Chain A
Amino acid sequence: MNRLINLLLILCIGAAVVASFSYLGIDLGELGGSSNLKQMGAYVLRFLSPDLSAGHLQAIGRGAVETLAMSALGTLLAAVFGLLLALPAAGRFGWLLQSASRLVLNGLRAIPELVWAALMVLAAGLGPNAGTLALAMHTTGVLGRLFAEALENTPPGPANALRLQGANVVWAFCYGTLPNLFPQLLAYILYRWENNIRMASVLGFVGAGGLGQMLYVSLSLFQEAQASTVILAMLLLVFAVDGLSSWSRQRWVKA
């Protein structure tokens, strides 16, 4: 019986794959046909001579700095608002505020960054500001939830001891709870920053600044040479972030 159900599920998966291809009307034979491949090859060839002139490199450098700044500020804003929302979401101010703030966090998190960016471009106009706000929105949802979980898991002992000694709530939080929590918060923030750098480089596709906007514009103008330099810069950025994060993890996070 069990085997039969498994077999049926596998058949269903196979049918779903076949159905998807026929629904989309993708003809792999035509896609791999010689004329199509030749056309694609010609398109690819135009990317093989990246534009390395000083002026363009300077523009790319500016775009990269813009991307980094967007991701850093977006993450920082998200950390601040995430912590503010995490306090009620961890149940510190009663169940009503808890469920309300959880709803807000879930809503913020459920909408992808790119959709936020498209919405923010409507509200804040084209440019990196929209990208920063979009990153801040989505990341607030993610960090808020992670912070709330971390808050729930910290031992309440130190804060309680301070309260019993007569410290007020704020000091008890700052000196009783926060020191325990801080390494974890920092780890989460850095992890999200890493993600956001990658994300910030593509948010520009909907007009939210950074390297993505340069890529979009140069592809739209059929300047493949310039576009390929931007792609190289993106790759470089991603590799740098990957290397830096794995190095810093080995260096500072004790396993």
Chain B
Amino acid sequence: MLKRDTRDPATRLRLLLTLLAIALLWPGIRYSELDLGVLLKADSQSEMGRFVSAFWPPAHGEEFLQLLWQATLQTLAIATAGMALALLLAIPASLLASRALSLSAASRSGRPSALGRLLRWPVRGLLIFLRSVPEIVWALLFVRAVGLGPTAGVLAIAITYSGMLGKVYAEIFESVDQRPAHALLQAGSGRLAAFCYGILPNVAAELLSYTVYRWECAIRASVVMGFVGAGGLGQQIDLSLRMFAGGEVASMLLTFFVLVLFADQISRLLRWRFA
């Protein structure tokens, strides 16, 4: 009969890995000054308690609701205007960066010539640079350059999202069947015509759903960017936080949830209609 082994044969290895992880993370605790106790300390607890207890009831004065409505509209407008500007830059950039419209690729079974790749590289590099700096950093820079307010938010969204959209569009163009476009190019059509009739019909649905999804992200981003002074709901949340106005913060967070849900529904509607 088999002898029953009550020990876990992998115990030693697991213990070793755990110890290693702890040893690696130990200096991290010092660097991040981690102190969970601060949440349980009496004075910070009473401070937080007073702040959180002011959450109920959420502020709902006539004047405040007016302000809230304005801020919400501003957030929506920032996201929409930012996306529109981003598309202006992203569509030409994606056409330039994508290998799908390469003339040399059409006659070389999909692999563009070295020169073509060399010429596309600067556009790709530009797109990488635009999207690698987080949007909130762009917002911070633009607040310094063009002043407090929604313009900084619009520009920040336009720049970051044109980088993302341009890259993803270029990849979507390359991901579909290339033969129609190649056939058109080899038959002597122009690149734009080849794009419109060879590629666009296949990618339209995917382009649209990705764009709508990004618009949704832009709304969330524009709320967050308000914290560095780029207008909209975020700026109001920041102001109320600094004044310890719990009720106002609560109603603005609620508005934020409603806004996100609303954007979700709109994007679902658009995707369902067009895709």
Asked if residues A215 and B133 are in contact (CB atoms below 8 Å), the reply is: no
Selected from B76, B81, B136, B241, the residue in CB contact (under 8 A) with A26 is B81
Selected from A17, A43, A125, A238, the residue in CB contact (under 8 A) with B81 is A17
Whether A43 contacts B144 in the complex (CB less than 8 A), given A129-B33, A202-B134, A238-B132, comes out as yes
Closest 9 CB pairs of A and B: A69-B28, A20-B77, A69-B31, A20-B80, A20-B81, A69-B32, A128-B32, A124-B38, A129-B33
Which A residues are CB-close (under 8 A) to B29?
69, 73
In the complex, A82→B267 CA distance in Å? Answer: 29
**Which A residues lie at the B interface, using CB under 8 A?**
5-6, 9, 16-17, 19-21, 23-24, 26, 31, 36, 39-40, 43, 65-66, 68-70, 72-74, 76, 110-112, 114-115, 118-119, 122-125, 127-129, 131-133, 175, 198, 201-202, 205-206, 209, 215-216, 219, 231, 234-235, 238-239
Interface of A is mostly: helix
Which A residues are CB-close (under 8 A) to B150?
24, 26
Selected from B32, B145, B238, the residue in CB contact (under 8 A) with A40 is B145
Shortest distance between the CB of A172 and any CB in chain B (Å) = 14
Binds A, one of B43-51, B103-111, B166-174, B185-193: B43-51
Interface of B is mostly: helix
In the complex, A6→B213 CA distance in Å? Answer: 19
- Does any Cβ of A come within 8 Å of B67's Cβ? no
Asked if residues A219 and B141 are in contact (CB atoms below 8 Å), the reply is: yes
Shortest distance between the CB of B256 and any CB in chain A (Å) = 8
Which B residues are CB-close (under 8 A) to A127?
33
Asked if residues B224 and A112 are in contact (CB atoms below 8 Å), the reply is: yes
Asked if residues A23 and B151 are in contact (CB atoms below 8 Å), the reply is: no
In the complex, A66→B32 CA distance in Å? Answer: 6
Which B residues are CB-close (under 8 A) to A65?
31
Number of interface residues, chain B, beta carbon within 8 A: 54
Which B residues are CB-close (under 8 A) to A231?
133, 137
Shortest distance between the CB of A250 and any CB in chain B (Å) = 18
In the complex, A6→B205 CA distance in Å? Answer: 14
Shortest distance between the CB of B67 and any CB in chain A (Å) = 15
Asked if residues B28 and A68 are in contact (CB atoms below 8 Å), the reply is: yes
Shortest distance between the CB of A128 and any CB in chain B (Å) = 5
Asked if residues B31 and A20 are in contact (CB atoms below 8 Å), the reply is: no
In the complex, A233→B92 CA distance in Å? Answer: 30
- Does any Cβ of A come within 8 Å of B227's Cβ? yes
Shortest distance between the CB of A116 and any CB in chain B (Å) = 11
